[in-house]
Structure 1
Amino acid sequence: MSVTLKELCQKDNNKYSIKLHCRQNLLDISVAWVYLLEDIENNDFLRANELVITTGMQIHNQEDMLHLIDILAKRKCCGLILNTGRYVLDAHITDEVCEYANKLNFPLLSMPWKVHIAEIMQDFCMMLSQQALIDNTLALSFENALISPEYSESYIPTITQGGYDKDGNYCVVTITSKNSAEMTKKHISSLLPKCNIINHNNYTILVLYNEEIAEFKNILEERKRDLTDYVENVGIGSSINDLIDLHKSYRESVFAHKVATSTNVKIQYFSDLGLFRIFYETQDKSILESIAKSTLSSIIAYDSIHNSEYFETLKVYLNHGSSILETALIMNTHRNTINYRMRKIREILCKDLDDPQYIFNLMLAYNIMDYLDISTLKTN
């Protein structure tokens, strides 16, 4: 749960007289640290979400200021505070400069020369350090809630003392990314500054709380590429309204992530999994195995002995409305070959493939086998 630039600016009723020169909504961005920069060209060390403060001693004209804003935006810094009154005056922050900052979605602020830079940096860094300590404690408690729900007495007090309602609305999201865990965490924090983010088993896990659930769905609907360009797969568990059930949403999100990975989709909601949800809730998985084997064992055995493709042919055939033509196209096989296979499949099964009830049983068996294959996939 990051500290936002807006919170820093509002600290102690804006004791540092910070003035805004950009859109108000740009302040809803997380701040990682604060850095004093005077040498504009010496910026390689700057990291994402760092707040930069400068006296502007190397800013001699408007072009220099635009150049600095451009550099910091490209370095993905979270904002710039100009210490005005000596090298840079308020009058130098022209409409053109403000418009350029807004165009880049880059927060531009100023504070008067009377403010001691050492004091504001110490104050801001202390606030960031304290929040980091709180975040680490909360992250550990939320991690316990996800993987050790039986020890609720050890984590619920810490979480509720951190401002979370035991009976609030929660939803867990499981993400994998090609980037490092730390980079992924920073990127998610830039989208959802107040979200609790946990790194566990090579997953990035989001614990969404109350309005964050709607905010996350809004990102998926309206700013999808902000997330999907950065991650590989996303699994989203069900919303729950009791902190003690948080592990259920987590396990659902992990399973939804497995489905997303195995079916090559970016985002998978557990609530959209249909039959898989019923299979998931079945405590005795041997019942599912028995249903699948009793329905498909004869065709599996035939393929094993004769090295044929009847199992896969029947699956494609059923999944495409019992269409010979579509089955032939998908399997890149002549339709006469598919017709022959289907006649042979009828002989093996000794069943009428025009019987809707039997077709349902076959599709159920195939779905169970897909589910069992996915559910046995190892987590990262």
Structure 2
Amino acid sequence: MSVTFNEISTKLASKNPIVIMRKNINISNYYYIEDNFDKLNSYSLYICKLSNFPKEFKTDKIINFLIIVDINIKYDLFQLKNCNILILEDNKINLYKLLENLQDIINVNADIIASSNSIIDAISQNECIGDIIKIIYNYLQNPIIISNSANYLCYHDGDNLTNDDTIWDDYIKYNYPDPYYLEKIYYDIKFGQSISSKSDSHIIDYLDIMEHRVLTCPIKINNLNIAYIYVLESNKPFTKEDMRVLNILGKILAPSIINDTRFTYCENTQIDSIFYYLLSCDNTQPHFLEKTCEILNLEVYSNFFLLNINFSKEEMKIEKLKELYDLIKSVFFNQFVFIYKNQICILYITKDDNPNKFKIYSKYFLDICEKYNLSVGISDIFFNLHDIKIAYKQTLKALDYSTISADKNHINYYSDFMLTDLVYEFLINENTDNIIDLNFKEFINSASEEYLEMMKLFVDNNGNIKKTADELHVHYNTLKYRLSKIRDEYCIDFEDLNYIIKLKLSYIALDFISNT
């Protein structure tokens, strides 16, 4: 975090210095000296007059000099080894003005160091990222946004500045960038290459759709982009120091961001971005979706199913998540695979209207599920991309209910748990006595294991006596006689189909209560 010798020479270019540079050293301080040339270091700039410069000067390390020629004595400064030298003529400069200029140059670096130290102090005191952004805004004095890797807005500051930039204002208003801005960054090859390969900040110039330039810097973990910093050039022009500060901020913030749930890993593609927007935003803007889908050639209306892949309880590291993501993508190569909240999701488009009627997985996919201990939740069909959030909640419920199910499967359809969901919603709002039949509860508490097993199978078979008798390997009349005994003793009407449904709901409720 320092000014280089080359940058100082560039700042003083108007004074036409002669530059001798052996190595571009970082410089953090400067001194005016008249004697005592013995204890010099490589990280300071030493200003002196030629008349005071020793005639025989030798050093084993790089030393930086700014020498003012105030006498006509010939002195071949080019012969000095290991020295970076700026040569200025005395009659072309004002010494005091020169020192002021150098102070400005070095103080800029001091500001950067001070800002960095403030950020580090804030992180060490567990300040939130929003407070840290305020610190950096106070230095940059331009509006700032931090988004996740799908460009969904997570933090921002600088709303008090008037910028007259609709694209930027909409970004803050809707938490998501304008589709035309997304189109620019996604199809800007130079931008994409810089974001992917470098951690340094650079300037985006899209003045055909924006009023101001944007300074951006990726935040990386293990060379994967997990966030972006954007600064709008609306209040003051960008400087090299601004770019340095952003580079420092990106590196300092990375460890904090990886633990922030707003910055869960997701791919940086246009498809991932639109899905993240639909799932994260409480009030999606129809015009955003319509325009973005039009730009990306994505259908808004079709037969959709959503698959949600859940991992084991162990935390999935980013590298492992990326490895698994690539595997899943190779299986569902003709579908939309994206990452949301560190879960791999698949938007499956089909001509069928029932997820059980088409083969959404292969043996290879089942092998992957076995190897990584994966559970897959599958939603009901939906026809409008706007409804993907409803489908996502269904996949989560399918995954949750599968954990309390007697049958542990890798593939779990929400439709199989619809009654479970209905019972759960009822249980959290009503007394259990309102859903569990009291006569049936008495039967459960007093009947033998044989009768309990018989009743469960009978209810699972929707009151079909023949099917139940066959599965129990008993005679039809034997089962009919046993059921009549239960009917007489517990007042359970097996001929009423609605009552059978109530018994099925009672079983689900009891299973749910016992498992949770």
TM-score bracket, shorter-length normalisation: 0.3 to 0.5
Q: Which structure would you say has the larger RCO, counting Cα contacts within 8 Å and 6 or more residues apart?
A: 1
Larger strand percent? 2
Larger helix percent? 1
Q: TM-score, normalised by structure 1?
A: 0.46
